[in-house]
Amino acid sequence: MTRIGTESGAMSGSPLSVWLEKDGTVLRLRLSRPKANIVDAAMIAALRAALGEHLSSARLRGVLLDAEGPHFSFGASVEEHLPASCVQMLRNLHALVLQMLSSPVAILVAVRGQCLGGGLEVAAAGHLIFAAPGAMLGQPEMKLGVFAPAASCLLPERIGQSRAEDLLLSGRSIDAMEAHRIGLVNVVADDPAAAALSWYDEHLAQKSGSSLRFAVRAARAGFRERVAEKIARVERLYLEELMATRDAVEGLTAFIAKRPPDWEDR
């Protein structure tokens, strides 16, 4: 493995490790706050900065996003979903999702353990997902009395409307094999990061970096625009209507307090 530059991340206190390998053709991003790897404001900012710095490199042919520890991510910060901070949190997360959807190179995502909530939204904004057999993927937001805005836009595109509604309304998690059957996961492998790098070596490494960028743009033609338009509408629904309800705040507060929610259906 060839690394270019200095790996940054957990050693420097950053929530994200960032490095280049394969002679600068692969950008490695690793969520580095195990075991939860919460997608909070700091993690979102680090991901956006790393993508912003490296995606313009003409040598780059792919990105591999994975995570340190046994789990990819437990999801977004519940505390940041409360009314005092949810506006900025949601807008920053959605900006990251749209940045990933606009990536000129393929983003490969390697998932182990739990990949939930905002963690799955980030994974679903990538191009291909490689998952370990024991991985569990889901959008549990409804169990907290809220919904998953970005996933409400991404999942119907990736797995179809009815399958997306199953996950979004139930809040249930599915294992890697079911996720593979419905098309959410592309490859199930014991070592998903190694499988992603093997896929890169076989399918991308020897191709023209310039031509790959045109292929990525063509494959996602219309996809980003549809998601961006829907995210704008769903974000308003979340911030202006959902967060004005009593039960949404109750569900989040109950989760933080580690008690059952007391729903009043209002």
pTM: 0.94
pLDDT at 9: 53
- Tell me the two tokens of residue 208: 């023209």
Q: What does the radius of gyration of the chain's CA atoms come to, in whole angstroms?
A: 18
Q: Exposed e or buried b for every residue in 209-220, given b needs 16+ CB within 10 A?
A: beebbeebeeeb
3-class SS of residue 33: coil
Is the pLDDT confidence value at 127 over 80? yes
Domains along the chain with CATH numbers: 3-193+208-215 (3.90.226.10)
Average pLDDT across the chain, whole number = 95
pLDDT tens for 202-221 read 999 999 999 999 999 999 99
Is the pLDDT confidence value at 12 over 60? no
